[in-house]
Amino acid sequence: MTSATTVTRRPATGATTAQARRRLTPGRVVLYVFVTLTALAWLFPVVWALLASFRDYDYTSTHGYVSLGGFTLQNYLNAWKQGDFTRHFLNSLIITVPAVLLTLFLASCVAFVVARYSFRLNLILLGLFTAANLLPQQALLIPLYRAYREIPLPLWMSDSGELLDSYWGLILVNVAFQTGFCTFVLSNYMKTLPHEMYEAARVDGAGVPTQFFRITLPLCRPALAALATLQVTWIYNEFYWATVLMQSGDKFPITSSLNNLRGQFFTDYNLLSAGSIVIALPVLIVFFLLQKQFVAGLTLGSTKG
């Protein structure tokens, strides 16, 4: 702590070059104004929704939104009840948690093999997985939908008796789609791990399972954390598969439950804002707490290292 205070005082004498670069020229003022206005404009829709969500509908419909008064929490209570949010959040949880864990585990397995053993199949495998992540879902819908209707599941796994309209089906399709991206990121990460460690482990007689579970996975913790953050957000936000593969409305995870809320919410805008804020809240919390992880996960995929 003491060193930190001295460091913050030092720039007064030390960093003259950095200060010269940061001197406020007219050009830089324009730059700051432009970037600030853009940032505020970008925040506006969410802030507007936040403000509207605390207003009473009767009050704002008579006085307009540019007014004071009519503040209430009632919209949140109504939105929660009318949207049946308890159930839908639970559904999201049931789908997201296993899907993320399974995705990361399977992707680590493939990435480990791809990164550590130079098979000739290496590139083909990576291509197979990454391309799968980029294909349009709609292009796969028809056969998948038909197959889901044909594949029976025991009733204790799915009360519809088939893969269609079951949590299992939705979890698996999410895993199949997301494994590609994670494999790609993880294999890049694993390639940067020091070779010597594995040499030493092999000399000590460690087999593949030990190398994977004891060495690779613990070392990949930063990449796994970044990917987990990203995947939680993506699978929570996943809309398409849940919309088409779930039949009964009470099984929809929260994002695709929006399909059924439109009619109720689009008539009362304060209710709509409260509902939107509630649905955005989990990802916003993840975003503000783990922004660094989130950004790291995304950029790991596009740039190397």
Partner 1 sequence: MSDLPTVPATAAPRRSGGRVRVSGTDRIFLVVMVAIPTILVVLWVWLPAIASVVLSFARWTGVGGLDTIQWIGTENYKNVFTNYPPFAPALRHNLIWLVFLFVLPTLFGMFLAVLLDRELRGTRFYQTALFLPVVLSLALIGFIWQLLYSRDQGLLNAVLHTQIDWYGDSRWNLWAVLVAASWRHAGYIMLLYLAGLKGVDPSLREAAAVDGASQVRTFFSVVFPVMRPINIIILVVTVIESLRAFDIVWVINKGTNGLELIGTLVTANVIGEASRIGFGSALATIMLVISLVFITIFLSTVMRGEQR
Residues within window 76-135 making contact with partner 1, judged by CB under 8 A: 106-107, 109-110, 112-113, 116-121, 123, 125-132, 134-135
Contact between 36 and partner 1 by CB under 8 A: the answer reads yes
Does 265 bind partner 1 (CB under 8 A)? Our answer is: yes
Q: Which of 56, 59, 60, 87 binds partner 1 (CB under 8 A)?
A: 60
Using CB under 8 A, pick the residue from 81, 146, 200, 214 that binds partner 1. Answer: 146
Establish if 12 lies at the interface with partner 1 (CB under 8 A).
no
Which 169-198 residues touch partner 1, going by CB under 8 A?
A: 172-173, 175-177, 179-180, 183-184
Of 72, 137, 162, 219, the one binding partner 1 by CB under 8 A: 137
Contact (CB, 8 A) for 147 and 89: no
CA atoms of 29 and 24, how far apart (whole Å): 6
Q: Is 64 in the site for partner 1 (CB under 8 A)?
A: yes
How many binding residues for partner 1 (CB under 8 A)?
A: 107
Angle between helices 221-237 and 269-302 (to 10 degrees): 150
Q: What are phi and psi of 30, to 5 degrees?
A: -60, -45
135 φψ region: left (φ > 0), alpha (ψ -120 to 50), beta (else): beta
- Choices 34-42, 70-78, 83-91, 217-225 (CB under 8 A): range interacting with partner 1: 34-42
Which DSSP letter does residue 161 get? S
**212 contacts partner 1 (rule: CB under 8 A):** yes
Nearest CB to partner 1, comparing residues 27 and 218: 27
Task: Residue count of the chain, please give it.
Answer: 305
CA distance 31 to 22: 12
Q: Sign (positive/negative) of CA torsion 180, 181, 183, 187? A: positive
